[in-house]
Chain A
């Protein structure tokens, strides 16, 4: 089932990634709240008297869906569908990760192309400028950004990295 999803995000790059992710999950991304089935809020507080909200990275009681900011694409899609169906979604005990090995949850490898995209974004270039510099289409560029967000755990790009 296709749902109409409005996305509110503090970070524009992150919004881009989330929009790509939501579209790939078979939903339609809206520019405004009007008529949305579900609001996906990333790192921003959204008032909850409109459509049900899936909030990423903010712990706000009262929202139908609460996920950590490094939620996977599958979790975000499942949460969108669940809150649209009137259910409440919570991640399983995020405060109790357990004692674990370094690199236990194997951090996904970045490919050489993704490294180039990351470096270009890091230099402060716009998406268009990055695409031009690397000789790829804006669409391909968005695809790389989406993969990067997925692999790095998104707006906090270091959340899946290991400190030594």
Chain B
């Protein structure tokens, strides 16, 4: 009879064999090989921050088959690039599972030569939904206790039961994060139909500031966001916001951190009129801005 360590190892070997059915390599003549995940029979996803800028790529399956694919859409906000395969291939992606703190995480990628690579770690930190610098809403904050290279990110991450946690992504200092499967499912619909994910945009560059005491006492809020730059043709610019104004609330929600603004600017905010409260020359001013979709991101 095998001891537990050998059993654990055998189980990992089995998981890797299953994962080879949906971990893919992405290659082309004009870019470094990347990793990705075969998400549906004709759809693959990869990490947008390292994805090739070209529109076409070859998808290399673990068994050596090659499929031609085109970029269907990119979303910097959730770090997802979607590829459409010209010929569907069979795929059996496991069901998504809820992440658990401390759980084993198996991270798969491609090595550029058609081979699969595996890393193992644990879910080192788990948090609620968060907003990325690109404005995307990520359903869970899942960080792993390992680092990942640009060539490896974009592949699937499984838990010990073989369930799908999501897609690996390199965070600050190369630390591996997971973009949850639910987030990818959510953005795939607009990516495959429109090629992008629309998010609300105000056209402001903001920097956190401490509010003067007099205003803090009146409004009960110690921080605001100073407008450093206004896009002239952006919604905030048209509403009359000027550089130097201090934004204290958007849509009634106090804004002390840049994330507070991002939360108010999800896809559903596009086309809505939103109330901006500002401090200008020591007094509070309320303006209404019609949120538009990002012009360029």
With A101-B131, A103-B259 known to touch, is A163 a contact of B205 (CB < 8 Å)? Answer: yes
The answer to whether A152 has its CB under 8 Å from any CB of chain B is: yes
Contact (Cβ within 8 A) B205 A162: yes
The answer to whether B206 has its CB under 8 Å from any CB of chain A is: yes
Q: Give Cα A76–Cα B150 distance, bound, in whole angstroms.
A: 28
The answer to whether A2 has its CB under 8 Å from any CB of chain B is: no
User: Which residues 73-104 in B have Cβ within 8 Å of A in the complex?
Assistant: 79
Query: Which residues on the B side are within 8 Å of A111 (C-beta)?
Result: 209-210
Query: Which residues on the A side are within 8 Å of B79 (C-beta)?
Result: 99
User: Which residues 94-138 in A have Cβ within 8 Å of B in the complex?
Assistant: 96-105, 107-112, 115, 119, 122
The answer to whether B20 has its CB under 8 Å from any CB of chain A is: no
Q: Which of A9-17, A45-53, A60-68, A153-161 contacts B (4 or more CB under 8 A)?
A: A153-161
Q: Looking at the complex, which one of A98, A103, A109 makes contact with B258 (CB distance below 8 Å)?
A: A103
Number of residues in A with C-beta < 8 Å to the partner? 27
Query: Which residues on the B side are within 8 Å of A161 (C-beta)?
Result: 205-207, 228-229
- A interface: dominant SS: loop
Query: Which residues on the A side are within 8 Å of B133 (C-beta)?
Result: 99-102, 104, 162
Contact (Cβ within 8 A) A102 B210: no
Query: Which residues on the B side are within 8 Å of A115 (C-beta)?
Result: 209, 226, 246
Query: Which residues on the A side are within 8 Å of B169 (C-beta)?
Result: 99
Query: Which residues on the B side are within 8 Å of A157 (C-beta)?
Result: 228
Contact (Cβ within 8 A) B244 A99: no
Which B residue sits closest to A163, measured CB to CB?
B205
Q: Looking at the complex, which one of B177, B202, B210, B244 makes contact with A164 (CB distance below 8 Å)?
A: B202
Q: Give Cα A109–Cα B141 distance, bound, in whole angstroms.
A: 25
Q: Give Cα A102–Cα B191 distance, bound, in whole angstroms.
A: 22
User: Which residues 245-264 in B have Cβ within 8 Å of A in the complex?
Assistant: 246, 257-259, 261-262
Query: Which residues on the B side are within 8 Å of A110 (C-beta)?
Result: 207-210, 226
Query: Which residues on the A side are within 8 Å of B246 (C-beta)?
Result: 115
Q: Give Cα A97–Cα B246 distance, bound, in whole angstroms.
A: 29
B83 to chain A, nearest CB (A): 19
Q: Give Cα A97–Cα B135 distance, bound, in whole angstroms.
A: 16
With A109-B223, A112-B212, A164-B265 known to touch, is A99 a contact of B171 (CB < 8 Å)? Answer: yes
The answer to whether B132 has its CB under 8 Å from any CB of chain A is: yes
The answer to whether B174 has its CB under 8 Å from any CB of chain A is: yes
B206 to chain A, nearest CB (A): 6
Contact (Cβ within 8 A) B259 A101: yes
Query: Which residues on the B side are within 8 Å of A97 (C-beta)?
Result: 172
Contact (Cβ within 8 A) A109 B208: yes
A39 to chain B, nearest CB (A): 31
The answer to whether B211 has its CB under 8 Å from any CB of chain A is: yes
Q: Give Cα A162–Cα B209 distance, bound, in whole angstroms.
A: 13
Q: Give Cα A77–Cα B246 distance, bound, in whole angstroms.
A: 34
Of A110, A119, A152, A160, most buried by chain B (CB within 10 Å of CB) is A110
Query: Which residues on the B side are within 8 Å of A107 (C-beta)?
Result: 207-208, 258
Which A residue sits closest to B204, measured CB to CB?
A164
User: Which residues 174-211 in B have Cβ within 8 Å of A in the complex?
Assistant: 174-175, 177, 201-202, 204-211
Contact (Cβ within 8 A) B258 A162: yes
Q: Give Cα A102–Cα B225 distance, bound, in whole angstroms.
A: 14
The answer to whether B173 has its CB under 8 Å from any CB of chain A is: yes
User: Which residues 52-102 in A have Cβ within 8 Å of B in the complex?
Assistant: 96-102
Of B79, B133, B177, B201, most buried by chain A (CB within 10 Å of CB) is B133
B222 to chain A, nearest CB (A): 9
Other A-B contacts than A98-B49, A99-B170, A161-B207, 11 sampled, CB-CB below 8 A, are A98-B170, A99-B133, A99-B171, A99-B177, A102-B132, A102-B135, A102-B259, A103-B258, A104-B172, A161-B229, A163-B206
A residues with a Cβ closer than 8 A to B are 96-105, 107-112, 115, 119, 122, 152, 157-158, 160-164
Q: Can you give 9 contacting A-B residue pairs, CB < 8 Å?
A: A96-B150, A98-B172, A99-B171, A101-B133, A102-B133, A105-B172, A115-B226, A164-B204, A164-B262
Closest 8 CB pairs of A and B: A162-B258, A98-B172, A103-B258, A110-B209, A112-B212, A164-B261, A161-B205, A161-B207
